[in-house]
Structure 1
Amino acid sequence: MAYGMHHAMDLYKTREATYEEMAEFHSREYLDFLQTVIPADMDNAELNERIAGFNFGDDCPVFDGLFNYCSHYAGGTLDAARKLCNNQSEIAINWSGGLHHAKKSEASGFCYINDIVLGILQLLRLHPRVMYIDIDVHHGDGVEQAFWSTDRVLTVSFHKYDKDNFFPGTGGLDDTGPPNPLNPGAHHALNVPLHDGIEDNEYVSLFQSIIGPCIRTYQPGAIVLQCGADSLGCDRLGCFNLNIRAHGACVAYTKSFGLPTLVVGGGGYTPRNVSRLWALFALPATVRHAQARESQLEGVSGVGDAGGAGAVAVHQGAPSVQMRHIPPDIMGLREDVEREIEEEKAMMEAEQEDKDGAGSSGDKWSRRKDLEKGLGVRGELYT
């Protein structure tokens, strides 16, 4: 609000994702568990095996309202994807999304429902190919795994890589998809492993040298960009030395291709940096002076392995796919959402009228004076 961003974008209150929508990727057994588990179950010895089977524990605790929380952020990403499919916007943002570690039947790394996978599946209803870009400090393993055996999604992840000492320990340079060259997903996962302390110029140069050829060769119909803020310097769990300007440059470069783009959040454990970064992404022109601290680490090393861009050369051209019929619900989504917004607005206005009662304008003025009592730079017009 302070930067006036609400004047430059359309803001939507999203609905919760339904059980059936989340079941497009996640197993029903896992969703049933999310619906019924409560914090007290963590201390129930009889449920230990089942809880461990879904990978709940210190990194993925159980808390009250867990399923509703998952439904809310997943619904935001689904609605954002639908805005793109309906041509209502060229860019749609859901900062509460970006939980890229969640698997089909398993929570992982603070992630319970993989809203990114759900959003990509929505985009694939309309677009033959979707490109996923991940600039979180952690490898986007859940998204990569979900689309491991398809050529309709190209996943590209820039992340800290240390197989034994940094979560999730995946995303090596040689992890490019299924080893069988006849598998459609072969060479459709691109990982760019990085070491501690990489700085702005090196990161942005590497990003552009890889993403540009990928987009031009793969020719995606839409892009999903995960913008985890934990790759910034000063993050409590991160280890890079990046300023928010580096992230902003990566986002601006991605936007320059003019493709429908779904932007989601992700990691980020230093709140002031997260808020600055999200503001920069949302409206760069108005927050160009906002900065995180310039440096945190000495540049001990940068790119994990030279030659990460070499994998791009494997793609000889965009894979051809047969266009699928667009489900009729896509075309009616806009009308449904607008109708729901109007109904909610009317309900809120009716509730406000009930609270106000039949009071006169004089009564309202008195209530306003009570609320403003003691306020003002001169003390206090109504004291």
Structure 2
Amino acid sequence: MKTKDRIAYFYDGDVGNVYFGPNHPMKPHRLCMTHHLVLSYGLHQKMEIYRPHKAYPVELAQFHSTDYVEFLHRITPDKQHLFPNELKKYNVGEDSPIFDNLFEFCQIYAGGTIDAARRLNNGLCDIAINWAGGLHHAKKCQASGFCYINDLVLGILELLKYHARVLYIDIDVHHGDGVEEAFYFTDRVMTVSFHKYGDMFFPGTGDVKETGEREGKYYAINVPLKDGIDDNSFTRLFKTIIAKVVEIYSPGAIVLQCGADSLARDRLGCFNLSIDGHSECVKFVKKFNLPLLVTGGGGYTKENVARCWTVETGVLLDTELSNEIPDNDYIKYFGPDYSLKIQSSNLENLNSKSYISAIKSQVFENLRCIQHAPSVQMHEVPPDFYIPDFDEAEQNPDERMDQHAQDKQIQRDDEYYDGDNDNMDDGT
């Protein structure tokens, strides 16, 4: 029995400096806030901190179409008027705008999830965290719902090189449609999404009846919920379903998307979870002691996102955090009470006991169709790193660094975080 989990944590300060636009709800700045809160609690001293490599276009094309990756690579705000057809074709524009350093942003958050999967595969850690990742709506050839590159699919594809079966769990308020769609026809990935469904709520998919097709029939599980679900209803349903899924499916690794827009008072959400309720799900998944890749996702009230993911970093480290937030570069955002935990609101829970019971019965009925773990024929494991030939002289030395050299760059304390402060007004 191992005594202590080894945890790898991925972060690049540049990820918080991109700006979707003044009225856009997605604020990558929340990642800087999360990171500084993690530092202020001293959690970095209990983990190995890594700066992820920037994913190469060829790595992104393991899932996404080459033409779409090339478009993201080429497009800039001042050029977009030249590509009206492509903007439409790739669903880029309003929800998923073009902004400065868009492609680098994608490379960093996707690189973090890919690196996390590789470290897990090589037994170098037990849990890997990339709060910048979790962009679960992106499709093979299209952006969707603020997501351009689907880092989760790329991370799962890495894990499948070493594991016969991977379980994907999503607690974002929005349906994890991009991940479900990518693995809809296979039994090697089971996707389980708990989300708001109905009333034209984005993305409009995720009915309990959507269960996968062909070899993937019954390997997509959807738990559609109504407004106002609270800690008690959510965590009981979550634990009952996930315990059964792990028992029946017997995954070799788990990917957990922790979208924080399911928290109470989220700018775009409509659930009523406290941070304790949200983090209880993380605590429960950790207990299975399987290789675990944890990402962020949605979350649009940024000070609560930072609180939530900091608490969950503590949960993964088995570390109880003081409710009084220590001084840090973003302390002003956490006033007036400067406390870590947020409680539920008095929102009405529209999920009746009979509704939850019916959903649970339907999910269990679908699971009974699987009954025991499928036998998967393992194929030859593909190589870890698909890197094309580059002219070394032209490469930025930071991007040229191989994985081994990067891994040696464990950075603790504040060695490279001094320049992270985002002093740009982000419109909230």
- TM norm structure 1: 0.83
Q: Which amino acid aligns with 2:373?
A: A
Residue in structure 1 matched with residue 391 of structure 2 by the alignment: none
RCO (CA 8 Å, sep 6+): is it higher in 1 or 2?
2
Distance in structure 1 (CA, Å) of the matches to 2:362 and 2:237: 9
Distance change >3 Å, CA 4–CA 25, structure 1 → 2: same
Q: Who is 2:406 aligned against? A: 340
SS across alignment from 2:78: helix
Q: What value does the CA root-mean-square deviation take over the aligned residues?
A: 1.9
**Percent identity of equivalent pairs:** 52
What corresponds to 1:312 in structure 2?
Answer: 367
**Map of 1:214 onto structure 2:** 245
* 2:321 corresponds to 1:287: yes
Query: Are residues 253 and 288 of structure 1, via their aligned partners in 2, closer, same or farther at CA, if it must alter by over 3 Å?
Result: farther
How much does 1:120 deviate?
Answer: 0.1
1:321-332 alignment, distance < 5 Å: 321-329=376-384
Alignment check: 8 A CA contact 1:209 1:309 kept: no
Match of 1:173 in 2: 208
Residue type at the aligned position of 2:231: D
Task: Tell me the equivalent position of 1:274.
Answer: 305
Q: Please name the residue that 2:283 is paired with.
A: 252
Quote the residue 2:44 is aligned against. 6
Which residue is 2:334 aligned to?
none
CA distance, structure 2, for counterparts of residue 105 and residue 300 of structure 1: 36
2:425 corresponds in structure 1 to none
Q: Is the 8 A contact 1:234 1:270 kept in 2?
A: yes
The number of residue pairs the alignment matches comes to 335
Kept in 2, the 8 Å contact 1:60–1:109? The answer is: yes
2:173 to 132, 137, 141: 137
SS at the partner of 2:149?
coil
Q: 1:93 to 1:342 in 2, by over 3 A?
A: closer
Q: CA deviation at 1:314?
A: 1.9
Q: SS in structure 2 opposite 1:11? A: strand
* CA drift at 1:58: 1.1
3-state SS in 2 of match to 1:191 = strand
Q: Give the structure 1 partner of residue 114 of structure 2.
A: 78
Question: Which runs of 5 or more structure 2 residues have no equivalent in the other structure?
Answer: 1-38, 324-339, 386-400, 416-428
| CA distance in 2: counterparts of 1:191 and 1:344, whole angstroms | 39
- Please state if 1:90 is matched with 2:126: yes
Q: Alpha carbons of 1:341 and 1:202: their partners in 2 closer, same or farther (altered >3 Å)?
A: closer
Q: In structure 2, do the counterparts of structure 1 residues 340 and 279 end up closer, same or farther at CA, with 3 Å as the change threshold? A: closer
Comparing 27-36 with 287-296, which one deviates more in the overlay? 287-296
Partner Cα separation in structure 2 for residue 317 and residue 344 of structure 1: 41
Say whether the 8 Å CA contact 1:191–1:308 is kept in structure 2.
no
In 1, Cα distance between the equivalents of 2:164 and 2:407? 31
**Distance in 1, Cα, partners of 2:178 & 2:383:** 29
In the TM superposition, what is the alpha-carbon distance from 1:320 to its structure 2 partner?
A: 0.6
Does the aligned pair in 1 maintain the 2:50–2:409 contact within 8 Å? no
Q: Deviations over 1:131-159 (max 9, x none)?
A: 00000000000000000100000000000
- Secondary structure of 2:40 counterpart: coil
Post-superposition CA distance 1:314-365 (Å, at most 9, x none): 21211111122334547xxxx95342355899xxx9xxxxxxxxxxxxxxxx
More deviation, 260-269/310-319 = 310-319
* Structure 1 residue matching 2:175: 3-state secondary structure: coil
Contact 2:50–2:410 (8 Å) recurs in 1: no
- Matches of residues 10-89 of structure 1 in structure 2 within 5 Å? 10-44=48-82, 47-89=83-125
**Contact 1:125-1:327 within 8 A present in 2 as well:** yes
TM-aligned CA distance change 1:254 to 1:104, over 3 Å: same
How far the C-alpha of 1:297 sits from its partner, in A, is 1.5
Q: Distance in 1 between matches of 2:260 and 2:187?
A: 28
Q: CA deviation at 1:123?
A: 0.1
- Cα distance in 1 for partners of 2:210, 2:351 equals 22
Partner of 2:184: 148
Provide the residue aligned with 1:227 in structure 2. Answer: 258
CA distance in 2, matches of 1:198, 1:132: 22
Asked if the contact 1:148/1:185 (under 8 Å) is kept, the reply is yes
Structure 1 unpaired stretches of 5+: 350-383
User: Which structure: larger Rg?
Assistant: 1
Shift of 1:37: 1.1
Per the TM alignment, residue 65 of structure 1 is displaced from its structure 2 partner at its CA by: 1.0
Opposite residue 299 of structure 1, the aligned amino acid is N
Tell me if structure 1 keeps the 8 A contact 2:118–2:384.
Answer: no
3-state SS in 1 of match to 2:48? coil
**Letter of the 2:368 counterpart:** A
What displacement does 1:299 show?
A: 2.1
Which residue does 1:121 correspond to in 2?
A: 157
Contact 2:206 2:223 survives alignment (8 Å): yes
Q: Give the C-alpha shift of residue 298 in structure 1.
A: 2.2
Aligned equivalents of 1:21 and 1:156: distance in 2?
25
* Contact 1:26 1:104 (C-alpha < 8 Å) held by counterparts: yes
Letter in 1 for 2:74: T
